[in-house]
């Protein structure tokens, strides 16, 4: 909608999510008040749960049609694992091309840093995805 509002055709061909956080801020903020990140997110998203939903990509799942490559660490934050799985299942249900790749022993920082190592399979998967779409 932002591209359309500015007279630009959508240039996004696909999405690469590397251990992405925040797919569903409503789910996270309603269930994680004891999490040490909670206060920071409340400062960003306010205490208004409607704003949490507006800031959550899963709220807009029905409008998502671009292919997705979703990379998730097996030792990352539980909310990332759960929400990435929800996104993946939702995309498959809509018949949107999606690949979910788990890195069993990787934590969040490891997932992000491996994106830069050309010898790593994750790096090659990202390049292959970009070439395909």
Torsion angle (degrees, nearest 10) of CA 108, 93, 61, 126 = 40
> Could you give the percent of the chain with pLDDT greater than 90?
52
pLDDT digits (tens, 9 = 90+) for 82-98: 999 999 999 999 999 99
The pLDDT value recorded for residue 85 is 96
- pTM of the predicted model, to two decimals? 0.85
Residue 15's pLDDT band, with cuts at 50, 70 and 90, is: very high
Mean pLDDT of 25-35: 79
């Amino acid at each position: 909608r932002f591209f359309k509002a500015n007279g630009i055709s959508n240039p996004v061909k696909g999405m690469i999510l590397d251990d992405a956080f925040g797919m569903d801020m409503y789910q996270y903020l309603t269930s994680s008040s004891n999490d040490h990140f909670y206060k920071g997110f409340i400062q960003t998203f306010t205490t208004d749960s409607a704003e949490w939903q507006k800031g959550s990509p899963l709220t807009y799942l029905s409008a998502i049609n671009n292919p997705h490559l979703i990379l998730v660490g097996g030792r990352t934050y539980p909310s990332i694992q759960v929400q990435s799985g929800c996104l993946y299942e939702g995309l498959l249900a809509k018949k949107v091309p999606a690949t979910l790749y788990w890195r069993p022993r990787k934590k969040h920082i490891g997932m992000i840093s491996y994106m830069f190592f050309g010898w790593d399979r994750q790096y090659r998967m990202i390049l292959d995805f970009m070439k395909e779409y």
